[in-house]
Amino acid sequence: MVYPWHLYLLSFLYVVAGILHFVKPNTYLKIMPNYLPNPKLLVALSGIFEIALGICLCISTLKSIAIYGIIAMLLVFLLVHFYMLKNEKNGAGVPKWILILRIPIQFILMYWAYFYINI
């Protein structure tokens, strides 16, 4: 099935984001909340899920599952965004205004994924 170009863009963004978990794992380890166990495993798993969900967006029989998976994943990632806002050290040097802006962006990304549920 041929989808709109912007669904392929969304898919590409998740695949690239997932690959970055393996190319630059320390970036993700720095922002992993300290109350979560086994941060290296969680960074790898989140990368695998992002890659898999990004690919599944382009497979018609898996698209709906991928959309709900992306929404769930983004909800879980809110833990990281709020953790980074707790104090300067957790923010990994990212300006506070960007950290705050990332929260509504998560919801925009959720809507972007959900937009394709009936396409």
DSSP per position, the chain = ----HHHHHHHHHHHHHHHHHHHSHHHHHHHS-TTSS-HHHHHHHHHHHHHHHHHHTTSTTTHHHHHHHHHHHHHHHHHHHHHHHH-TTTTTT--HHHHHHHHHHHHHHHHHHHTTTT-
pLDDT tens column, 16-33:
999 999 999 999 999 999
pLDDT tens column, 102-115:
999 999 999 999 99
pLDDT grade, residue 82 (50/70/90)?
very high
The tokens for 3 are 């989808």
Cβ atoms of residues 2 and 104 within 8 Å: no
